[in-house]
Structure 1
C-alpha cells in the first residue's frame, strides 16, 4: 500500500468484496450517519423478499394512500408525477420508480402494501436489520426523507426532524445481502431510464440519479448500481457497485466532501475509492473445476466405509477465486480443509456430492463484515459409490469392532 494512505473525500466510506464480506477499505465505518434515500435499498430488499415468499406479485396493482399521493405534489420530495389520485400502479412500476428515480411516494406505497402501514413496515425493516446484526442505527421511514417533509405521517415516538441513520458498514451489509440474495436487482439499478405506468394516465420516463452509469456525466465502466441519497442532514451519499478485473465490489460514500458546490462530488469520491481498491486488490485463482489443487494439504482421495469401493476421489466442484491484496503487507492468507487425505466417509456417495469443505480467509487489520468470515467452496466426489449389501456391511462393522477391542 502507498506510504500516504488514501483518504476518501467523505465523512465515511467503505469498500467490500460482497462474495466473502472482506473489507477492502474503511474510513469511519461505524459512526451512524444520515443515509437519505439509500434507505430504499432496505425497502427494495423487503419488496423482493415478499415477492419471493409469494405474498406480493410484480403485477399486483396498488393505489396510493392520501399521504403518498400528497407527497407527489410536494416539490421537496423527489418523486413521480401522478395525475390521478385513484389510479393503481403495478408493484414493478413502483419498484422501478423507487430504485431508478428515487420516487419517495413509490417507496411509501410499497411499504404500506407490504406492512399494512409505513410504521409497521419500519418495524419489519428493523427486524430484518437486527437479523443481520445491525442494531446501531435509527429508522423512522421507508423513503429516507426527513420527517419534516412528512407532516403528521411520522413514525410513533420520532421527532418532527428525525431522519434515518446507519453506519457505512451497515449499508455495506445491506447492499451485500441485496445483491447476493436478489442479484436481479441489478437489472433495475443499471437502467438509466425506464417507462413508468406505460399506457396509463401518469405515463412518464423515469431517469436515474446514478450518474456513474453508461452515457451519463460521471460514467465508469462496470458500474451497474446501486442507490444515491441526498438530504441536507445526510449530504450527498452513494452506495455503488461495479464489476472490474473479474471481481465485484460494493462501495459506500456518506456525506461526500464539497457536495455543496459540486453535483458530482459523491461520484468523484466513489470513483477514487474504486480506483484505490482495484489498484491494491486482485482476484486470484485458488481452484479450478475438476483439477487437482496445488496445495499439499488438499485431499485428493477419501476412504469409503461400507461402500462397494474402498475409496473415492475428490476434486473442486467449481472454479474458485478470491480477492487478495497485491502486496502482502501485514496480511496472512489461510486455506483450510475439514478433511485430510484418506479421511473416512460413509457410503452411499453420490457423484458430485460435497465431501470436503474448503475455507479461504485473509487476516489483516481491515477484517470482514459482521456475519462474514471468508470464502468457502467444496471438493466433491468424482463418481458415485453405492453402499455394500447388508451382510457385507454387518461383517465390516464386526471386523472393525473386533479390531478396536484387540
Structure 2
C-alpha cells in the first residue's frame, strides 16, 4: 500500500515537472528562436534590397533542390544573351538526347519534334514557366555545346556568386537516373543537384537584381507553347501562388518550384508589397508534393509582410555617431570625415525600431595619403537587440552600405611633414620630462 502511494506521488511530481518545463525560459527561448516553425527540412526568408535575413532554419544544409536548379540555367542564359553570345531568335534543332527526354511523359515537358526548329525564346519560356526539362537541356547545349560542359559552367558561376554549399550535376534538376542513362559525363548516375537554402536565396537575389526581366516571364500564370501551330499546347505555371491561380498570394511574381521523390516539395518565391521585396526558400516542405511548399511559403510571406516594414536608419552622406573621422598618415589633413555612400534601409520588426543598431566597421584604422573623395573606408553592420534571434545578413553579416571619405586629402609636402616630425619630437620629449618629474614625487 505504501509502495502504491509512493508511485502515485512520483507520477504527480513528474507531471508537475513536465508542466513547469512547458513554461520554462528554455521552452520560451526555443519558441522565440523559431517564431513561425516552418514545417520543412530547411527554409529562409530574405529582404532583397538589404540582404537582411528575417527567418532561417537549417539554411546552410545542402539538400536536393529538384527543378529549382533551372534558376542557374536561366541565369547563365540571360548572361549569355546580355553578352551577345546567344540571341533570342536563334534557332535550335533537337539532338537524339533532347528529343528522347522531351517525349518522356513522366517528366514535365513540351514535346519537341526531332526535325523541329525552336527559338531560344520558346525554349526559355518553356523552361521558366512550365519547367520543361528537355527545353532546359537544349538551352544548356546552346550555351555550352553540351550539358556536360554546361554543368561545369553552373558550378563555376555558383562559386563566382559566392555560393558555398552547392553541387550542380545537370541543367534540369532531375535526378540523374531519370535522364535515360545519358546524364552529363563526369557526374554520378545516382546523383542530383544539391544546394543549401541560403545559397538558393543568394542565387535568386542575384538573378532578380541583375536580370529583373526574369520576373516578366516567371510571373506568367499560363500561356501556350508554339501558339498558332500544330504543336500548340497549354503551359500552366507550376507556381500556384501567382495571380489567378489556386494558391494566389498578393505580390508574388516568381520564381521557381521543384519536386522529386528525394527533394520533396520545394519552392523559391519572391514577392513585393509596400516597397519591400522578399525572397523565400523552402526545401522539402511537409505535406502534399505539389501544395506543401505553398502552405509553408504563405506562412513565411505572412510573417515577413505582417511583422516587418522598411525603415531608414541613416541617410545618404550621413556621419555615424562616434565614428565620423579616420586618421590620415602623411596627409595635408591629419584626418578625413567619413559618411555613408547611400541610405541605410532595412526591414525592421514592427514596434522595435529602437532595437536596431548600426556599427561602423573600418577596413583600416589609419589611411595613407592621398585619399580620394568617395574612397571606400568601411561598411555598416546592423544588429537587432530584441528578444528574438538576429539572423544577420545573406552575406558577411553586414549591410551593403559603404562608409566613404567625404572629401579628398592630398599628400602633405616635405615642409609640413618635417614640422610635424619636429613637433612630435618635442611633444614626446616634454611628456618624458613630465613623467620623470612626476616620478620624483
TM-score (norm 2): 0.75
Deviation at 1:337, TM superposition (A): 6.8
* Contact map agreement 1:355 1:380 (CA 8 A) in 2: yes
Q: Would the alpha carbon gap of residues 322 and 354 (structure 1) be closer, same or farther in structure 2, given more than 3 Å must change?
A: farther
Determine the C-alpha separation between the residues in 2 that align with 1:100 and 1:126: 24
SS state at 1:57 partner: coil
In the aligned structure 1, how far is the partner of 2:125 from the partner of 2:422? 69
Q: What is the CA-CA distance between 1:118 and the residue it aligns to? A: 0.8
Task: Report which of the two structures shows the higher radius of gyration computed on alpha carbons.
Answer: 2
Indicate yes or no: 2:419 matched with 1:402.
Answer: yes
Distance 1:104 1:323 in 2: 37
1:146 deviation in Å?
2.3
How far apart in 2 are the matches of 1:98 and 1:65?
17
Query: 2:132 maps to what in 1?
Result: 103
Q: 1:317 to 1:131 in 2, by over 3 A?
A: closer
The gaps in structure 2 that reach 5 residues or longer are 1-28, 424-441
Residue 365 and residue 67 in structure 1: after superposition, are their counterparts in 2 closer, same or farther (change >3 A)? same
Question: Which position in structure 2 is the counterpart of 1:373?
Answer: 397
Contact kept in structure 2, 1:19 and 1:375, CA below 8 Å: no
**1:322 corresponds to 2:352:** no
Rounded Cα–Cα distance in structure 2 between residues aligned with 1:33 and 1:337: 34
Report the CA distance between 1:91 and its aligned residue: 1.7
Q: CA deviation at 1:336?
A: 1.6
Q: Is the 8 A contact 1:95 1:110 kept in 2?
A: yes
8 Å CA contact 1:10–1:256 kept in 2: the answer is yes
Matched, 1:40 2:70: yes
Aligned CA-pair RMSD: 3.7
2:15 paired residue number: none
Alignment of 1:75-224 (within 5 A): 75-82=105-112, 84-134=113-163, 136-156=165-185, 158-198=187-227, 202-224=231-253
The correspondence for 1:296, drawn from 304, 321, 342, is 321
State the distance in 2 between where 1:356 and 1:162 align. 45
Conserved? CA contact 1:299–1:339, under 8 Å: no
Q: 1:385 to 1:234 in 2, by over 3 A?
A: closer
- SS of the residue corresponding to residue 346 of structure 2 reads strand
Q: Deviations over 1:237-262 (max 9, x none)?
A: 110011124222111111221115xx
Q: CA deviation at 1:89?
A: 1.8
Higher RCO structure (Cα 8 Å, ≥6 apart) = 1
For normalisation by structure 1, the TM-score amounts to: 0.80
Q: Distance in 2 between matches of 1:32 and 1:386?
A: 48
Contact 2:326 2:337 in 1 (8 A): yes
Contact preservation (8 Å) 2:343, 2:401: no
Which residues of structure 1 form unaligned runs of 5+?
388-392
Distance 2:404 2:199 in 1: 35
Change (3 A) 1:204 1:16: same
What is the deviation of 1:10? 1.7
**How many residues are paired up?**
386
Higher deviation after alignment, 37-46 or 237-246: 237-246
The answer to whether the Cα contact below 8 Å between 2:381 and 2:399 also exists between their aligned partners in 1 is yes
